[in-house]
Amino acid sequence: MAALEREVRPLIRSWTSRVREHGGRSFRFFEKENAVLVCAGIGPEAARRATEAIIMLYRPGLVESVGFAGALTESQRAGDLLEPQEIIDAGDGSRVDTGVGAGILVSFRAVAGRDQKARLARAFGAQAVDMEAAAVAKGAQAHGLRFRALKVISDEASFAMPAIESFVGGNGEFRTAAFAAHAATHPGLWLPLFELARNSAKAARALCARLEQRIRTQAGAPTSVSQLRSSG
């Protein structure tokens, strides 16, 4: 489970793409060997819907939330990987222990700017923040499935994230063309966006390299994607 395709593009460019429906919505799944990936969209609601879809259509044994996260400590740099042991929902304070990894990831309902990151770090003692992992974790728990997360830092603690909430559609999609038009008329965004694009590309490469390594390690597992698909 990722939010946006750009987070995992280096990984899935050669995977099989398949559109399937669940709950009256269409989802694009990417399949290879014994792995399936779906780009849910931005935010917890989009993640919740896509989690339910991938569980019901593929019956996986493990659900994993992957993608970009913002750093909450000054020591973290773009491209650093985090496999958190604990996922905290900042909205209700609920916690999920993944049983693996180390550290804390907090899921917040909106894109966290510099000041919000500092507040989250103080409140939860977390190392990174995302928007979707807690929703994915709850979906996996509801079906009695194993859950874990792998996140990569795309924006550092001191980075001032541009406001993007108004460019996120109702299904969690990012309205790229509208945001590009907005940025074109606001020169103050150009340097931060250049830095964010550079760091995001670095983060995507690091994340996808680790995921590719995992998939190769698990290639001998008995359950293939075709078996997962038919079981659904």
Higher pLDDT residue, 225 or 139? 139
Give the model's pLDDT for residue 225: 53
Is residue 171, in this structure, part of any structural domain at all? yes
Highest-confidence segment of 141-145, 192-196, 219-223: 141-145
174-195: average pLDDT: 88
Is residue 98, in this structure, part of any structural domain at all? yes
Is residue 231, in this structure, part of any structural domain at all? no
CATH (domain of 133): 3.40.50.1580
Distance CA 202, CA 97 (A): 28
pLDDT at residue 224 above 80? Answer: no
- Per-residue confidence band for 216, with pLDDT thresholds at 50, 70 and 90: confident
What ranges in the chain are assigned the alpha helix state H?
5-12, 44-58, 114-124, 133-142, 176-184, 190-217, 225-231
Is residue 230, in this structure, part of any structural domain at all? no
Give the model's pLDDT for residue 220: 55
pLDDT at residue 227 above 60? Answer: no
Structural domain span for residue 101 = 5-225
CB 116 within 8 A of CB 158: no
Higher pLDDT residue, 220 or 158? 158
Q: Write out pLDDT tens, residues 142-158.
A: 999 999 999 999 999 99
Amino acid 196 reads L
Higher pLDDT residue, 201 or 173? 201
Report percent pLDDT > 90 for the chain: 77
Is residue 232, in this structure, part of any structural domain at all? no
Q: Write out pLDDT tens, residues 97-145.
A: 999 999 999 999 998 989 999 999 999 999 999 999 999 999 999 999 9
Q: How many CB atoms lie within 10 A of CB 98?
A: 21
pLDDT at residue 230 above 80? Answer: no
Report percent pLDDT > 70 for the chain: 94
Q: How many domains does the chain have?
A: 1
Give the model's pLDDT for residue 215: 87
Block residue for tokens 């946006």: 4
